[in-house]
Amino acid sequence: MMVIRPAQTEDLDDILALAAAAGTGLTTLPNDPVRIGDKIQSSINAFTMDIAEPGPEYYFFVLEDLNAQKVVGTSALVAAVGMDEAFYTYKLSTVVNTSHDLGIYNKHQILVLGNDYTGATEIATLFLSPEYRGGVNGRLLAKSRFLFMADFPERFADTVIAEMRGYSDDEGKSPFWRSLGKHFFNMPFAKADAISGLGSNQFIAELMPQHPIYVTMLTKAAQEVIGQVHPKTKPAISMLKREGFRYQNYVDIFDAGPTIEAPKDQIKTYRSSKLMTVKVGAPTIVSDTALTSLMVSNRQLKSFKTCVVESNFDDEVLRVEESVLKALKVSEGDSVRVACLRNRPHK
């Protein structure tokens, strides 16, 4: 059985193995025992804090294969970005220059550096071991965060964002960086991106140009990748768009990958989840409704757990095998939160 739970200190070696497999593309999962250890401890602190409003808390989740007793995936939530370190993005805007005397009308796209997403909740650090991809594991890893948000809404902002990896070629080179960023940073793209991923953003304010960047001044290759995702990121952004996330012309300052957003209460999994009473037994078939894959959370903050069951979403009682109760650490009669993995709205 596969279970989502908070990361613990004993998970360090497994998470480092995942970080090594992720390579340089996932800067929020560095292959560094000190940095990962800090993330785990920050997360442990976040899960034990009394929260009146969202702040810089970092919630670090892992996907555990209970049969193999190892961690095979990671995901995270940052309750409110930009609270400790500035959160920079480029906003793609339009300016118009007109000369009535000359009869010239020019419309230009510009990139404006800003901190518009300060205070928003960010979903981050999504990685699944290649050998566990396929089936429901990826969706469980990604969407279980929305169940957690639904269980504890006061801990998260009204707006939720996701920074998507921008386009780079087979050699890991970013056309956008080569046209813009490299002129202001005396370092390779991978290093600048990695430093930013570690939360050290002061160098951005010190080195990036503060004036708008006219897109037409960039190379054609750079212009073409603004707001585009890396090919390997297409499944992730498609899933988030089905959840209700939308691109609003904000892009990453290094690779121009899109930042997408959604109102928290409009995220489909968040909105369509519901509370059910859990009991041991065979699922009830209502009318001709077939069983479906459901995510189930135990609604417990410090020992949060989520797994997948095949059951019926149209009943008020969730009937499952006893092994599910054991995995979630709940008892018969407890209230659990349930949502469909494929966003099937409940009646």
Average pLDDT for 309-324: 90
Residue 252 has pLDDT above 60, yes or no: yes
Torsion (CA) 105, 107, 113, 119 in degrees, nearest 10: 120
Write the CB contacts of 297 (distance below 8 Å, at least 6 apart in sequence). 144, 147, 148, 151, 304, 305, 306, 328, 336, 337, 338
Whether 100 is catalytic is: no
Torsion (CA) 308, 314, 318, 320 in degrees, nearest 10: -60
Considering the chain, what percentage of its residues have pLDDT values greater than 90?
69
Residue 289 has pLDDT above 70, yes or no: no
* Structural contact between residues 29 and 19, judged by C-beta atoms closer than 8 angstroms: yes
Residue 29 has pLDDT above 70, yes or no: yes
Residue 287 has pLDDT above 80, yes or no: no
pLDDT at 347: 40
Identify the burial level of 143 via C-beta atoms within 10 angstroms of its C-beta, where 0-12 means exposed, 13-18 middle and 19 or more buried: buried
Residue 189 has pLDDT above 80, yes or no: no
pLDDT at 111: 96
Average of per-residue pLDDT values in the chain: 90
pLDDT per residue as tens digits for the range 136-186: 999 999 999 999 999 999 999 999 999 998 998 888 788 999 999 888 887
Q: Which amino acid is at 129?
A: S
In the chain the domains, ranked by start, together with CATH numbers, are 1-80+123-157 (3.40.630.30), 84-118+159-270 (no CATH), 273-340 (2.40.40.20)
pLDDT at 316: 87
Q: How confident is the model at residue 298 (pLDDT cuts 50, 70, 90)?
A: very high
Residue 343 has pLDDT above 70, yes or no: no
Return left, alpha or beta for 119; rule: phi > 0 is left, psi -120 to 50 is alpha, else beta. Answer: left
61-100 core/surface letters (b: 16 or more CB in 10 A; e: else): bbbbbeeeebbbbbbbbbbbbbeebebbbbbbeeeeeeee
Q: What angle do CA 287, 290, 291 make, to 5 degrees?
A: 120
pLDDT at 197: 62
Q: How confident is the model at residue 221 (pLDDT cuts 50, 70, 90)?
A: very high
Show the tokens assigned to 106.
């020019």
Residue 284 has pLDDT above 70, yes or no: no
Q: How confident is the model at residue 232 (pLDDT cuts 50, 70, 90)?
A: confident
Prediction pTM value:
0.90
Tokens 């800090």: give the residue.
Answer: 38
**Who wins on pLDDT, 138 or 208?**
138
Average pLDDT for 240-263: 96
In the chain, alpha helices (H): 12-22, 33-48, 137-151, 175-179, 189-197, 202-207, 220-225, 234-243, 268-272, 322-328
Paired with 110 in beta bridges are: 93, 214
Q: How confident is the model at residue 346 (pLDDT cuts 50, 70, 90)?
A: very low
Q: How, if at all, do strands 317-320 and 274-280 pair?
A: parallel
Residue 102 has pLDDT above 60, yes or no: yes
Average pLDDT for 92-105: 88
pLDDT per residue as tens digits for the range 64-98: 999 999 999 999 999 999 988 889 999 999 999 88
